[in-house]
C-alpha cells in the first residue's frame, strides 16, 4: 500500500463510457511516503486543558532519545499510565496516561516529545462507499469485475497465494474457508499468539482487495449494497504465507523460500493455487537474468502459476539508481503492474498514471505490462497494526483504511486473474497475461513506458477468445547474488545487519544450487529450506504446522520462542478475537519493500 522497495487505474465499464460521470467526492488526500510519520502536535492545547480533565485519561505518542525507551516507559507507568505499541520508526511508543500527568511527562529526561493522540479521527463518521469513486464497490464496477460476477464468475475454486505480512480475521476476511494459512516464515513465527496474524496491516489490506467478502454478501454480489465489502474475486480463497513482521521487516531469503513453498504445494490435496500476489519489490542492482528473487518468481510462472508483482515506487527506485521497475517485477515473464488514478471520477477519459508509479527509463527497457487502480483505494483496516498506528491520515472509519501504491494495483490484478481463471481454468499464465494486455484501455495522455498496454478492463475479456501465445525472453538463471537482490534495504537484529550470501539463520545460501532445486520444484524438503527447519511439514485443518527455531540468526542470537515474548501489544480486538499477550518485538526496517506510496 505504501512501500515500494519490496513490500507495491481506473477504468469505466463499456456501458458507462461518456454516459456517467461522478462528481469528484471530497478533498484529494495528500500522498505521503510510508517512511514518514505525521504526528499532529497539539501539546499546548492539551496542557492548558489537562488541569480541567481531572481523572480522565488520554492517548499519547511518546518520542524518546535513541536508546531511552525503557526509562520513558517506566516513567509512564510511574505516573499511572500504560504503555501500548512500540513505534521503532520514531524511537517512541503509544501510551495512555492520566490527562493531568501530561505536563510532567513532557519535561522528564530522555523524552523528546509527548503528543496527544488526537489526530486519530476517521475521514468520515458516516462513510458512504456509494459516493466514493475509490471504494471497492466503485472499483469493481469500473474495472468490469462486476460484469464477471453477473456472468457467474466470482473466483470460486481459485486459490490466490499472498506472500505478505499475514492476514488478520477482520470482517471481510473472517468468513469460513476464506483464508488458508500456509507456513509463517516471519520473525514473529516464534510467538504463538502472533503466528500468521497481520501485525503490520499490509497483508490484510491487500488480501481484502483481492478476495475480501462480508459474511452477509450473497452471490452474484453485484446486487449487494455498496456498504457490503467485496474484493475483486469474492469467492476466491486466500492462501496466506506470512514473511513480514509488524514493521514490515523481512529478508529476500524469506520471500524466496515462500515462493518456493507456493510452487511445491500449489496442488496439494484441497489446494489450487493459480495466482501468486507479490506486493513487494527490491531495488536490485543486478539483471533479472541472474537475480535469485526474479528467478524464483519466474520459476513459479513456468510452473503454471500467474505471478503478479507491483511495478514499484518511482521515487524510491530512481533515488537508489536501480532498474526502473522493482525486483521481481523487472522479470519480463511475470505480470508487472503499475498504478492508475481515477482522478475522482468514474469515467475513463481523465484517468492518469499515478505519479508514484514506476515505469521504463527508455524505449527498450522493461515497462509495466499495464496499470490498474492503485490510488486512494478503500481497504480493510487492522486496528492497532503498525500502519494503523503510524498512518492515521489513512483512516476512513472504524473499519476501513485508505491506501495508495502499486501494492494495491497488484492486488486488484490478482483478483482480476482469479476471475478470469474461474471462467476459463485451462488458461496458461502466458495466455492470461496476453488477454489482460489485449483488454486494457490506452490512456491517451501517457506513453507505453509508464502505462504499458493501458489500464485494466475486464469486460472485454468475457467475450475474448484465448490467444495462442507463448512468451519468449532470455530465461533467468538465478546464479547471481542474494546480497544484490536485497538492494539497499537490509534486515537488522540486535544492531547487526543481515548482509551477504546468508539467510536469516546465518547459513550460507548457495544461489546456483538453490536455483537448480527450484527448477526441479524441490527446494523444500518437508519443513526445511536451505538446510534450515523453517516450519512444520504437515497441514492441520486450515493451517500449516509450525516449527520451533532453535538455531541462531545471522546476529548470533537464538531464534527460540522465549526471545519473542517481551514486547507488548495494545490489545485491540476484531471479529470476536483479540491480540493476546505480546507482539511487535520488531526488527529495524524502513518498510520500503512493500510497494506503496502513501496512505490516505
* Predicted structure pTM score: 0.76
- At 393 the pLDDT is 85
For residue 524, list its beta bridge partners. Answer: 529
- At 92 the pLDDT is 76
- At 319 the pLDDT is 54
CATH number, position 250: 3.40.50.200
518 DSSP 8-state letter: H
For residue 95, list its beta bridge partners. Answer: 60, 83
Asked if the structure places residue 73 within a domain, the reply is yes
24 DSSP 8-state letter: P
25 DSSP 8-state letter: P
Backbone angles phi, psi at 68, to 5 degrees: -105, 20
Backbone angles phi, psi at 62, to 5 degrees: -105, 125
Shared domain for 105 and 20, answered yes or no, is no
Shared domain for 184 and 256, answered yes or no, is yes
Shared domain for 343 and 361, answered yes or no, is yes
Shared domain for 217 and 70, answered yes or no, is no
Shared domain for 468 and 347, answered yes or no, is yes
Task: State the 10-residue block means of pLDDT for the chain, 600 residues long.
Answer: 36 24 25 24 35 63 74 90 70 82 89 68 68 93 97 98 95 92 88 87 96 92 91 97 88 92 93 96 92 96 98 66 80 97 86 90 85 95 87 88 93 99 98 98 93 97 97 95 90 82 86 87 80 63 52 48 27 26 26 58
Shared domain for 254 and 393, answered yes or no, is yes
Rounded CA separation 317/357 (Å): 10
Shared domain for 130 and 95, answered yes or no, is no
- At 521 the pLDDT is 86
Q: What are the grid coordinates assigned to 585, written together?
A: 518485538
Rounded CA separation 468/112 (Å): 63
Shared domain for 111 and 222, answered yes or no, is no
Shared domain for 100 and 129, answered yes or no, is no
Among the candidates 475, 497, 521, a domain finishes at 475
Q: What are the grid coordinates assigned to 320, written together?
A: 537508489
Asked if the structure places residue 38 within a domain, the reply is no
Rounded CA separation 362/374 (Å): 23
Shared domain for 79 and 135, answered yes or no, is no
Pairing of strands 528-529, 496-497: unpaired
Q: Residue 362: is it exposed, middle or buried by C-beta count within 10 angstroms (0-12/13-18/19+)?
A: exposed
- At 561 the pLDDT is 32
- At 310 the pLDDT is 95
Q: Residue 449: is it exposed, middle or buried by C-beta count within 10 angstroms (0-12/13-18/19+)?
A: middle
Q: What is the DSSP string of 431-487?
A: HHHHHHHHHPBPPTTS-HHHHTT-B---GGGGSPPPP------PPP---S-HHHHHT
- At 163 the pLDDT is 97
Do residues 217 and 230 lie in contact, with contact meaning Cβ atoms separated by under 8 Å?
yes
Number of domains in the chain: 2
Asked if the structure places residue 510 within a domain, the reply is no
Q: What is the DSSP string of 90-128?
A: GTEEEEEEEGGGHHHHHTSTTEEEEEE-TT---S-TT--
Shared domain for 377 and 432, answered yes or no, is yes
Among the candidates 475, 500, 522, a domain finishes at 475
Shared domain for 160 and 91, answered yes or no, is no
Residue range(s) defining the domain that contains residue 403: 14-29+123-475
Among the candidates 434, 456, 475, a domain finishes at 475
Amino acid at each position: 500500500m505504501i512501500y515500494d522497495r519490496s513490500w507495491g487505474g481506473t477504468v469505466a465499464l463499456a456501458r458507462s463510457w461518456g454516459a456517467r460521470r461522478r462528481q469528484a467526492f471530497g478533498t484529494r488526500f495528500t500522498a505521503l511516503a510510508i517512511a514518514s510519520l505525521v504526528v499532529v502536535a497539539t501539546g499546548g492545547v492539551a496542557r492548558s486543558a489537562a488541569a480541567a480533565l481531572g481523572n480522565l485519561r488520554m492517548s499519547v505518542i511518546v518520542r524518546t532519545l535513541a536508546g531511552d525507551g525503557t526509562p520513558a516507559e517506566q516513567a509512564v507507568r510511574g505516573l499511572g499510565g500504560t504503555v501500548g505499541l512500540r513505534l521503532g520508526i520514531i524511537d517512541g511508543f503509544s501510551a495512555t496516561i492520566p490527562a493531568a500527568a501530561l505536563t510532567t511527562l513532557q519535561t522528564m529526561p530522555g523524552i523528546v516529545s509527548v503528543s496527544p493522540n488526537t489526530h486519530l479521527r476517521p475521514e468520515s463518521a458516516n462513510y458512504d462507499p456509494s459516493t466514493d469513486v475509490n471504494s471497492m464497490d466503485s472499483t469493481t464496477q469500473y474495472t468490469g469485475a462486476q460484469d464477471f460476477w453477473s456472468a457467474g464468475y466470482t473466483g470460486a475454486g481459485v486459490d490466490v497465494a499472498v506472500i505478505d505480512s499475514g492476514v488478520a480475521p477482520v470482517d471481510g476476511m473472517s468468513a469460513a474457508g476464506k483464508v488458508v494459512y500456509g507456513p509463517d516464515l516471519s520473525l514473529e513465527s516464534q510467538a504463538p499468539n502472533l503466528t500468521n496474524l497481520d501485525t503490520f496491516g499490509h497483508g490484510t489490506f491487500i488480501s481484502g482487495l483481492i478476495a475480501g467478502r462480508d459474511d452477509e454478501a450473497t452471490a452474484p454480489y453485484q446486487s449487494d449494497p455498496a456498504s457490503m465489502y467485496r474484493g475483486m474475486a469474492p469467492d476466491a480463497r486466500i492462501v496466506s504465507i506470512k514473511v513480514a513482521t509488524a514493521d514490515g521487516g523481512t529478508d529476500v531469503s524469506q520471500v524466496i523460500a515462500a515462493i518456493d513453498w507456493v510452487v511445491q504445494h500449489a496442488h496439494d490435496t484441497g489446494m489450487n493455487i493459480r495466482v501468486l500476489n507479490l506486493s513487494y519489490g527490491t531495488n536490485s542492482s543486478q539483471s533479472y537474468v541472474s537475480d535469485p528473487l526474479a528467478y524464483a518468481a519466474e520459476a513459479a510462472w513456468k510452473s503454471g502459476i500467474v505471478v503478479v508483482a507491483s511495478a514499484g515506487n518511482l521515487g524510491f527506485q530512481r533515488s537508489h539508481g536501480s532498474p526502473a521497475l522493482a525486483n521481481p517485477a523487472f522479470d519480463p515473464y511475470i505480470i508487472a503492474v503499475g498504478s492508475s488514478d481515477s482522478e475522482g471520477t468514474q469515467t475513463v477519459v481523465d484517468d492518469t498514471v499515478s505519479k508514484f508509479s514506476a515505469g521504463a527509463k527508455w524505449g527498450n527497457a522493461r515497462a509495466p505490462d499495464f496499470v490498474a487502480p492503485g490510488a486512494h483505494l478503500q481497504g480493510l483496516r487492522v486496528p492497532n497494526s503498525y500502519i494503523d498506528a503510524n498512518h492515521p491520515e489513512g483512516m476512513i472509519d472504524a473499519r476501513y483504511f485508505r491506501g495508495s501504491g502499486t501494492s494495491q494495483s497488484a492486488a486488484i490484478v490478482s483478483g482480476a486473474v482469479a476471475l478470469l481463471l474461474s471462467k476459463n481454468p485451462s488458461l496458461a499464465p502466458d495466455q492470461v497475461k496476453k488477454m489482460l494486455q489485449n483488454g486494457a484501455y490506452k490512456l491517451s495522455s501517457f506513453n507505453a513506458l509508464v502505462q504499458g498496454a493501458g489500464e485494466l478492463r475486464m469486460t472485454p475479456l468475457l467475450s475474448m477468445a484465448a490467444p495462442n501465445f507463448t512468451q519468449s525472453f532470455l530465461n533467468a538463471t538465478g546464479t547471481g547474488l542474494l546480497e544484490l537482490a536485497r538492494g539497499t534495504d537490509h534486515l537488522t537484529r540486535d544492531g547487526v545487519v543481515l548482509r551477504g550470501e546468508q539467510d536469516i539463520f546465518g547459513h550460507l545460501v548457495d544461489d546456483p544450487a538453490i536455483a537448480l532445486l527450484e527448477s526441479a520444484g524441490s527446494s523444500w524438503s518437508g519443513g526445511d529450506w536451505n538446510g534450515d527447519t523453517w516450519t512444520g511439514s504437515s497441514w492441520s485443518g486450515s493451517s500449516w504446522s509450525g516449527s520451533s527455531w532453535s538455531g541462531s540468526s545471522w546476529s548470533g542470537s537464538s531464534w527460540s520462542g522465549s526471545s519473542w515474548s517481551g514486547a507488548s501489544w495494545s490489545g485491540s480486538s476484531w471479529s470476536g478475537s483479540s491480540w493476546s499477550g505480546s507482539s511487535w518485538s520488531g526488527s529495524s526496517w524502513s518498510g520500503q519493500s512493500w510497494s506503496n506510496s502513501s496512505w490516505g
